[in-house]
Amino acid sequence: MEEIRLYIESGTLELYATGGLNAEEREEAEAMLAKHPSLHAELVEIEKSLEKYAQSYAIEPSDKLRDRIIGNILTSAVHHTNSDVPTEPKVRKIASNQNTFYKYAFAASVALLFLSLAALVVMNSRLRETNQQLALIQNTNQQYSSRVNYLNNQLNTKETVLSVLRNPEFKMVKLAGTKQAPSASMTVAFNSAKKEVMIDMASLEMPAHDQEHQYQLWALVDGKPVDLGVFSVNSEDNGMIKMKDIAAAQAFAVTLELRGGSINPTMEQMMVMGAI
Does 167 engage in binding with another protein (CB under 8 A)?
no
Q: Which stretch binds another protein (CB under 8 A): 19-27, 143-151, 195-203, 206-214?
A: 19-27
User: Which DSSP helix (H) or strand (E) runs through 109?
Assistant: helix 98-166
Residue closest to 104 by CA, chosen among 94, 91, 92: 94
Does 133 engage in binding with another protein (CB under 8 A)?
no
Q: How far apart are alpha carbons 208 and 234 in whole angstroms?
A: 9
Does 87 engage in binding with another protein (CB under 8 A)?
no
Residue closest to 190 by CA, chosen among 173, 176, 167, 165: 173
Q: Which stretch binds another protein (CB under 8 A): 48-56, 130-138, 223-231, 266-274?
A: 48-56
For another protein, give the closer residue by CB, 53 or 102. Answer: 53
For another protein, give the closer residue by CB, 86 or 223. Answer: 86
Scanning residues 205 to 224, which ones bind another protein (CB under 8 A)? none
* Minimal distance, residue 82 CB to another protein, in Å: 5
For another protein, give the closer residue by CB, 34 or 136. Answer: 34
Total number of residues shown for the chain: 276
Other Cβ atoms less than 10 A from the Cβ of 115: the count is 10
Q: Which stretch binds another protein (CB under 8 A): 54-62, 127-135, 163-171, 202-210?
A: 54-62
Q: How far apart are alpha carbons 132 and 138 in whole angstroms?
A: 10
Phi, psi torsion values for 226, nearest 5 degrees: -120, 130
* Minimal distance, residue 37 CB to another protein, in Å: 10
Q: Beta partners for 227?
A: 218
**3-state secondary structure at position 135:** helix
Residue numbers of the site for another protein (CB under 8 A)? 9-12, 14-22, 30, 33-34, 40, 43-63, 65-66, 68-70, 72-74, 76-78, 81-82, 84
